[in-house]
Amino acid sequence: MTLRTRTLAWSAGLTAVLAAVLVISAGIGPVSIPPATVARALLSADPLPLGFEAPRTSRIIVLNVRLPRIALAAFVGVALATAGTVMQGFFRNPMADPSIIGVSSGAAVGAVATIVLPFAFPFGLELQGAAFLAAVITAFAVYLIATQGGQTPTATLLLAGVAVQTFLGAIISLLLLHSGQSIRRVVYWLMGHLGGTTWGEVRVIAVVLPPLFFVLLFYARDLNVLLLGEEEAHGLGVEVERTKRILLAVSSVVTAAAVAVTGVIGFVGLIVPHGMRLLVGPDHRILLPTSALAGASFLVATDTLARSGPAEVPVGIVTAALGAPFFLYLLRSREVTKL
Amino acid sequence: MTGGDPAQPNPLLAVDGLGVQLDGTTVLDGIDATADRGRFLGIVGPNGAGKTTLLRTIAGAIDPAAGRVAVAGEPIHDLTSKAASRLVAKVPQDTTVGFEFDVRTVVEMGRNPHRSRVDGWTDTDVAAVEQALDRTDTRQFADRGIATLSGGERQRVLLARALAQDAPLLLLDEPTGSLDINHQVRTLELVRDLVSEGRTALAAIHDLDLAARFCDELVLLSDGGVVAAGPPEAVLTESEIRNAFGASVVVSENPVTETVSVTALGAGETPADGRSETSPAPQPGRGSKDSGR
């Protein structure tokens, strides 16, 4: 079976899984709705002139209440799984995740500062704008710190990322100490949450994410060659430093866009790429699209669990609580450390 | 692009006054070398002489501090990676891999220099990959993960990748280093075949007998400079080897291949045919340091 056929088969299968997860998730909540009604409600959405009809209340619950949150979870899942895949390949390091160069820590500083500090930010920056901006600035700063004479060794980049994350962690702790009444909001944000999603937030990430995803997919072959090592990649016609800059910049913006909207949702970007690598192999031409689809299903499913208990918990707790044991299982049973 | 056209004037490779520094240490100094099309040039010399550095510099991976390298008339360090990788294909020495690609995918990566990001897989690409698998005797494990192969098998896969790259200049760093005696000879015969088809090969080879047997010309490197160059029998003399390696040797003719054979003598050993030793005892410390260059 050629790579193209395998990619199409896996993508079709995972799309079906995602559709099923979406329908089941949209049926779960204070009012439970049977899957068939959910499907009809989804297909009756305004932009689809398919002539399907569903009861008005089910329609409102599915389309206006639950779907924005589910759609956001799906997009953020795509973003984190994609960025995680790229970072693991880029660093040739199984522990790499989307935040390895400090994007999440930067976003957290931006978000927590807007919540805690008593003055308004200039230019009317809202929490999400501040988080996004701080995330991108952090990634860029780490890149500049690690770059000398036009070369950015990945080992230096990794260590610079760790050091900057530690430094920003200190700032977050300091802000937390002075957060007073708003500490609950801060902690909630830091754990990652998808509650209270509006279609507006979904629209932003739905516009930003797809083009960036296709840029990364466009570089899948270069990413494969980079896995052989930078000198070999150079010998095989890859413009190493330029490719590294593009991969870093795009995956950092992808991560920042996700984290700024939802807060820090851990583990998705680490375990989804590993799980898919075990299933489809290390070739990024198949790994990137399948990880993206699996990431969407994973985050929609975990967020459904997060909101369906007696009291809603931040989804970051669920991804870590479910993801870590699953990851340890993979680690013990198969050779998950191989990229 | 002029690469690969046998009608082009020689030399294919011209190294002119090349000097290389790594972390402030001069590793190569004033290297001159040329290789015509259809020639197999061997680089020999003790550990740390700069053989690998010379190959990496010719491949464009290291920028020289002085001098220039031209392949098919093109200054290799001024080209884009893509243009350079269409002229030069390199088989690296270090074959350890930390990834799980299958062998065919690795060989297919050799076609990367010839493809644009939007191009599909062409018939030329398919033919180059299939031929590379056949000629290196690697088709039998084409679908296996590269990490499951032995060091010698991996070395042949990397040679297959370089073949698929289809460049006029082939650089090989210790191509026979981890091969059994059968594959040592078969690999070097394959290089000879490629050379007789008009390609140029430049190989760093430890084994002086193999170098003498398969190469048209040898370049003897020592301490970052060329100490001798020319046909094997002119380069591999007892005095040149003693100066470069600091070892006492006996140079004879291999009765089977009728090429130069070099036998190193241990301290206190004398040749069995009763000839008097022509070299002083080996100087301690020389020829044993391995800096990995």
Give me the pLDDT at residue A67, please.
Answer: 92
| pLDDT confidence bin for A20, thresholds 50/70/90 | very high
Residues A72/A202, Cβ–Cβ less than 8 Å: yes
The distance of A276 to chain B (nearest Cα, Å) reads 13
Which residue is closest to A216 within chain B, CA to CA? B117
Question: Which residue does chain B place closest to A226, by CA atoms?
Answer: B109
- Given a cut of 60, whether residue B274 has pLDDT beyond it is no
- In chain A, residues with a C-beta closer than 8 Å to the C-beta of B109 are 224-225, 228, 236
**A338 within a domain of the structure (yes/no):** no
The pLDDT score that the predictor gives to residue A338 is 55
Burial of A126 (0-12, 13-18, 19+ CB in 10 A): exposed
- Is A339 a member of any domain? no
Q: Which of A251, A235, A243, A236 is nearest to A219 (CA)?
A: A243
- A238 to chain B: nearest residue by CA? B81
Instruction: Report pLDDT digits (tens) over B39-76.
Output: 999 999 998 899 999 999 999 999 999 999 999 999 99
**Is the Cβ of B259 closer than 8 Å to some Cβ of chain A?**
no
Question: How far apart are the C-alpha atoms of A177 and A227, rounded to whole Å?
Answer: 43
Question: Is pLDDT at B278 greater than 50 in this prediction?
Answer: no
- In B, minimum Cα distance to A283 occurs at B101
Residue-wise pLDDT for B143-184, tens only, equals 998 888 888 888 889 999 999 999 999 999 998 887 888 888
Does residue B226 carry a pLDDT above 60? yes
Q: In terms of DSSP bridges, do strands B40-44 and B217-222 run parallel, antiparallel, or are they unpaired?
A: parallel
Residue A328, pLDDT score:
83
Radius of gyration of chain B (CA): 20
Q: Are strands B225-230 and B217-222 parallel, antiparallel or unpaired?
A: antiparallel
User: What per-residue confidence (pLDDT) applies to B116?
Assistant: 78
Q: Is B157 on the interface with A (CB under 8 A)?
A: no
Q: Do A224 and B92 touch (CB under 8 A)?
A: no
CB-based contacts of B130: which residues, under 8 Å, 6+ apart?
none
Q: What is the pLDDT of residue A339?
A: 52
CATH of the domain at A290: 1.10.3470.10
Cβ of A237 under 8 Å from any chain B Cβ? yes
Backbone torsion region of residue B64, taken as left when φ is above 0, otherwise alpha when ψ lies between -120 and 50, otherwise beta: beta
Joined together, the tokens standing for residue A212 give: 């960036």
Instruction: Find the residue in A nearest to B114 (Cα).
Output: A237
B98 in contact with A at a CB cutoff of 8 Å?
yes
Q: Going by C-beta distance under 8 Å and a sequence separation of 6 or more, which residues neighbour residue B273? A: none
Report which of residues B83 and A179 the model is more confident about: B83
Range of the domain at A59: 3-333
Q: Does A334 touch chain B (CB under 8 A)?
A: no
Contacts of B90 in chain A (CB under 8 A): 235
Distance from the B227 Cα atom to the nearest Cα atom in chain A, whole angstroms:
29
- A217 vs B contacts (CB less than 8 Å): none
Q: pLDDT value at position A188?
A: 83
A92 vs B: CB within 8 A: yes
Residues B114-122: what's their mean pLDDT? 79
Q: How many CB atoms lie within 10 A of CB A121?
A: 15
Residue A245's pLDDT is 94
Q: Which of B96, B109, B202 to mutate to test the interface with A (most CBs of A within 10 A)?
A: B109
Which residue from A minimizes the CA distance to B99? A339
Per-residue model confidence as pLDDT tens digits over A100-143: 899 999 999 999 988 888 766 655 558 888 999 999 999 999 99
pLDDT in tens, A57-73: 888 888 888 999 999 99
Per the CB < 8 Å rule, is B81 touching A232?
no
- Domain assignment present for residue A199? The answer is yes
Report residue A158: phi and psi, to 5°.
-60, -45
Residue B42 region by backbone torsions, left for phi larger than 0, else alpha for psi between -120 and 50, else beta: beta
Q: What is the pLDDT confidence band of residue B268, given thresholds at 50, 70 and 90?
A: confident
All residues of chain A having their beta carbon less than 8 Å from the beta carbon of residue B22 are: none
Q: Indicate the class that CATH gives domain B13-236.
A: alpha beta
Answer yes or no: do A339 and B109 touch at CB < 8 A: no
Q: What mean pLDDT do residues B199-220 have?
A: 93
Q: Kindly tell me if the per-residue pLDDT of B211 is higher than 90.
A: yes
pLDDT band of residue A216 (cuts 50, 70, 90) is very high
Question: Span B241-250, mean pLDDT?
Answer: 86
Residue A190 pLDDT exceeds 90: no
Residues of B in contact with A227 (CB under 8 A): 99, 101
Nearest to B100 among A238, A239, A282 (CB): A282
- Which residues in chain B are classed under CATH 3.40.50.300? 13-236
Partners of residue B115 in chain A, C-beta under 8 Å: 221
The predicted pLDDT at position B89 comes to 95
| B3, pLDDT greater than 70 | no
Q: What is the pLDDT of residue B242?
A: 87
A237 closest CB neighbour out of B82, B99, B101: B82
pLDDT at position B273: 59
- Of all residues in chain A, the one with the smallest CA distance to B143 is A1
Residue of A298, A236, A320 whose CA lies nearest to A70: A298
Which 177-206 residues of chain A touch chain B by CB within 8 A? Answer: none
Residue B286 has pLDDT above 50, yes or no: no
Are B99 and A227 an interchain contact pair (Cβ–Cβ within 8 Å)? yes
CB contact under 8 A, B90 and A235: yes
Quick one: pLDDT band at residue B97, thresholds 50, 70, 90?
A: low
Mean pLDDT over B182-211 rounds to 92
Task: Name the closest residue on chain A to residue B55, using Cα atoms.
Answer: A235
CB contact under 8 A, A239 and B81: yes
Q: Name the least confident of B10-24, B189-203, B256-270.
A: B256-270
Smallest Cα distance from B28 to chain A, Å: 19
Nearest CA of chain B to the CA of A148: how many Å? 14
pLDDT band at B293 (very low <50, low <70, confident <90, very high): very low
Count up the domains in chain A and report the number.
1
Q: Say whether residue B104 is in contact with chain A using an 8 A CB cutoff.
A: no
Does residue A188 form part of some domain?
Answer: yes
Q: What is the pLDDT of residue B8?
A: 61
pLDDT at B52: 92
Percent of chain A whose pLDDT exceeds 90: 53
Q: Rounded to an integer, what distance in angstroms lies between the CA atom of residue B238 and that of residue B271?
A: 13
Using the Cβ of A218 and the Cβ atoms of chain B, whether some distance falls under 8 Å is answered with yes
- Residues of B with Cβ-Cβ distance to A232 under 8 angstroms: 92
CB contact under 8 A, B105 and A224: yes
Retrieve residue A95's tokens. Answer: 């522990």
Question: What is the distance in angstroms between the Cα of A208 and the nearest Cα belonging to chain B?
Answer: 22
How do strand B169-173 and strand B200-204 relate by DSSP bridges? parallel
Q: Which helix (H) or strand (E) holds B29?
A: strand B25-35
Task: Please give the structure tokens belonging to residue A239.
Answer: 């413009």
Residue contact B110–A232, C-beta within 8 A: no
The pLDDT-based confidence of B98 (bands split at 50, 70, 90) is: low
pLDDT tens per residue, range B126-142: 999 999 999 998 999 99
Q: Give me the pLDDT at residue A68, please.
A: 93
